[in-house]
Structure 1
């Protein structure tokens, strides 16, 4: 009996130690900056405004619906959304666990099975697209000015996150939308403790040569690099 108790205590101790080390690594790496992009050197013709948007947990990348470089309204079929409003100027896009997106409208709806699959990378992922008429800067919304070359790199990164079917993005037919102007699409990759929705957003910023954390799983790990 003592041996069983000893082993149980040992395993619990190892588990708690692993959680502690995970927390330390997550925190430290999010403080290490990468890239030092300076938009002040851009000429007006090069400037493209994008935004970082957070709900306090999850980060979206916000882009112009269309410009001379890409028309997202054709890519994600904006006319399929409920409102069918073509006046939107911006498109927010985020990547995440499909189960969380579609089955967990609130934290009260979270199932143990959904959380386990998400934590271990056993479930599939989705891209969530929301259209906005305008964006307002604030604590939860940061404007970034990038040039056309970096914007093109961002387009490539995002497009590569879609799961394609005959070269077309795959819209998820679901009632689990958060408003009248959003939709879900099948995505590549799996959510896990080491690659979250915020890790994806951070990687998108890296792809576009923008300020980002060396690695982060949280929205604060991204936004701390955009305080000024």
Structure 2
């Protein structure tokens, strides 16, 4: 049991060599960005590169960048939040939503007071990440994302998401899984906070 636990904690810290690191001589590598919002993280994708694989992005056709975040349905959509909302979100499995925000400027410029970490991915790794994000959207009978309402800032929307939110499947765990799908050596079993994600990105990226 101890050996299994150690394996789980360390087994996902190696890169998936087929996808990461990207060949620096290739011209189709893609840079994504991870934003630290304090309690949660968002993943910023270049719209033009991601949109062929994301039907939800049809709502933001003129955007240059799209930031995607996943979280608890009530807590994420409510401002201001309450302590009870946070407790309920962590300790009871709750429904989830996806937040998509569109903007034109560089993510570092758009989020001047946030920590933003760029991550260069191979083309294949990027597509894997985008597909994981796309598969997080709940779809209606017509196969389209389910819109819930206006988002938190700028041009943004909330959508119904798949999966239940709780302490061990929170917004940062979701981000880590998406990042891991690209081949990047992030340890998804030790991620609970946004600071941990940022630390691992800085520790392992080329």
Q: Is the 8 A contact 2:21 2:122 kept in 1?
A: no
Q: What SS does structure 2 have at the residue aligned with 1:194?
A: coil
| CA-based RMSD | 2.6
The structure 2 residue matched to 1:135, chosen from 101, 107, 115, is 107
CA apart distance, 1:101: 1.2
Q: What SS does structure 2 have at the residue aligned with 1:168?
A: coil
Q: How does 1:11-160 map to 2 (within 5 A)?
A: 34-36=13-15, 37-39=20-22, 41-67=23-49, 70=52, 72=54, 75-79=56-60, 86=62, 88-103=63-78, 105-106=79-80, 109-112=81-84, 114-133=85-104, 134-136=106-108, 140-160=115-135
* Cα displacement string for residues 82-140 of structure 1 (whole angstroms, at most 9, x for unaligned residues): xxx82x3110001000111122x13xx3152x234312343200000111212228871
Q: In 2, distance between residues paired with 1:69 and 1:129?
A: 13
Number of aligned positions between the proteins: 186
Match of 2:185 in 1: 211
TM-score, normalised to structure 2, is 0.79
Gaps of 5+ in 1: 1-24, 80-84
- After the TM superposition, list the runs of 4 or more consecutive aligned residues in structure 1 that deviate by more than 6 angstroms: none
Q: In 2, distance between residues paired with 1:125 and 1:102?
A: 10
Q: What SS does structure 1 have at the residue aligned with 2:196?
A: helix
TM-score, normalised to structure 1, is 0.72
Q: In 1, distance between residues paired with 2:124 and 2:145?
A: 24
CA apart distance, 1:32: 8.4
Distance 1:42 1:70, change over 3 A: farther
Distance 1:168 1:34, change over 3 A: same
The structure 2 residue matched to 1:196, chosen from 158, 161, 170, is 170
